[in-house]
């Protein structure tokens, strides 16, 4: 008998609140290893709330709380005694707008996450920085100015720098919250190309308002509406033959 593999990341009956308002409710969803999962839906439907719950960023919001379970390799990241900092090293996140640390150099930005892990030597740190920048398709553009400010980089370069910073500690999962929303078309295309490369090593979850982008980069797509998961399935199927009428109405532009 073949035993089904445990998903890299899964949520079980997950509900998250901001004060008295539920951002998402009773969500069950699994994210497989080395796949790109897209979360789509209109503004305010709970996509970004779910994303922040996946690495315990949600609990940093005042009056926010979570019920249910988030399982990383079968272990609940909200269980008593679990260190949220350790969770965020394993489940990295890149935000909508590039967020390089302005007082740090390019190299220091990439190495920032290493400060909360086991001590590393200078040579080890330099090797990690180069490897992360290569994986983020940025090394050739910045290798001669590693000690310069990241603010001199273009928006697209800054976002790839944030990707490098997130993957430097070797996470298992990479969360992308509308990573191309503030970029020009060229910068957005570079990030999309990068997503295809990154899934070889990571489980990737991306929130996007761009349906064409979801169709281009993801293997699985999940549609959210008013805090509820309406439908999930292989991206090609969901975009061509959705099961739920609400999903069809959204992807055909009747609302959203």
User: Would you give the DSSP letter of residue 151?
Assistant: G
User: Would you give the DSSP letter of residue 83?
Assistant: -
Q: Give CA–CA dist 179/30, Å, rounded.
A: 22
Tokens 């980089």 locate to 153
Is 118 among the domain residues?
no
Is 131 among the domain residues?
no
pLDDT tens, 151-179?
Answer: 999 999 999 999 999 999 999 999 999 99
Tokens 């800054």 locate to 158
Residue 25's alpha-carbon distances to 84, 143, 148, 181, 243, in angstroms, are 22, 46, 45, 26, 21
Q: Which two tokens stand for residue 255?
A: 């609302």
Q: What is the pLDDT of residue 18?
A: 84
Q: What is the pLDDT of residue 19?
A: 77
User: Would you give the DSSP letter of residue 224?
Assistant: E
Q: Which stretches in the chain have pLDDT values below 70? A: 1-5
Given strand 9-18, what is the order of strands in its sheet? 21-31, 9-18, 64-72, 75-76
Is 242 among the domain residues?
yes
pLDDT tens, 196-242?
Answer: 999 999 999 999 999 999 999 999 999 999 999 999 999 999 999 99
Q: What is the pLDDT of residue 5?
A: 60
Q: Which two tokens stand for residue 21?
A: 């308002």
Strand partners, 70: 11
Is 126 among the domain residues?
no
Is 228 among the domain residues?
yes
Q: What is the pLDDT of residue 1?
A: 40
* Residues spanned by the domain of 195: 9-105+172-251
Q: What is the pLDDT of residue 118?
A: 79
Is 140 among the domain residues?
no
Is 143 among the domain residues?
no
Q: What is the pLDDT of residue 213?
A: 97
- Cβ neighbours, 10 Å, residue 144: 8
| Non-local CB neighbours of 130 within 8 Å, separated by 6+ positions | 139, 143
Is 178 among the domain residues?
yes
Query: CATH number for the domain including 179?
Result: 3.40.50.300
The closest of 44, 55, 45 to 11, measured between CA atoms, is 55
Q: Give CA–CA dist 150/172, Å, rounded.
A: 26
Total domains present in the chain: 1
Q: What residue ranges in the chain does DSSP mark as E strands?
A: 9-18, 21-31, 36-40, 64-72, 75-76, 91-94, 173-177, 203-207, 220-225, 228-234
């Amino acid at each position: 008998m073949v035993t089904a593999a445990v998903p890299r990341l899964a949520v079980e009956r997950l509900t998250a609140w901001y004060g008295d308002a539920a951002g998402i409710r009773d969500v069950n969803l699994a994210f497989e290893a080395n796949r790109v999962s897209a979360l789509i839906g209109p503004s305010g439907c709970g996509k970004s709330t779910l994303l922040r719950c996946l690495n315990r960023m949600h609990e940093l919001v005042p009056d926010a709380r979570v019920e249910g379970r988030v399982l990383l390799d079968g272990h609940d990241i909200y269980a008593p005694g679990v260190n949220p900092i350790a969770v965020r090293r394993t489940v990295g996140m890149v935000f909508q707008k590039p967020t390089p640390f302005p007082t740090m150099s390019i190299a220091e930005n990439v190495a920032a996450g290493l400060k909360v892990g086991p001590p590393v030597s200078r040579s080890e740190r330099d090797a990690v920085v180069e490897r992360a920048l290569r994986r983020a398709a940025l090394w050739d553009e910045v290798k001669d100015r590693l000690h310069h400010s990241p603010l001199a980089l273009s928006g697209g370069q800054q976002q790839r720098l944030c990707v490098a910073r997130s993957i430097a500690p070797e996470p298992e999962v990479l969360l992308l919250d509308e990573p191309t929303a503030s970029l020009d078309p060229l910068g957005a295309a570079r990030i999309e190309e990068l997503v295809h490369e990154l899934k070889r090593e990571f489980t990737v979850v991306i929130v996007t308002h761009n349906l064409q982008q979801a169709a281009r980069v993801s293997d699985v797509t999940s549609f959210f509406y008013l805090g509820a998961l309406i439908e999930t399935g292989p991206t090609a199927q969901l975009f061509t033959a959705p099961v739920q009428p609400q999903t069809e109405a959204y992807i055909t532009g009747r609302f959203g």
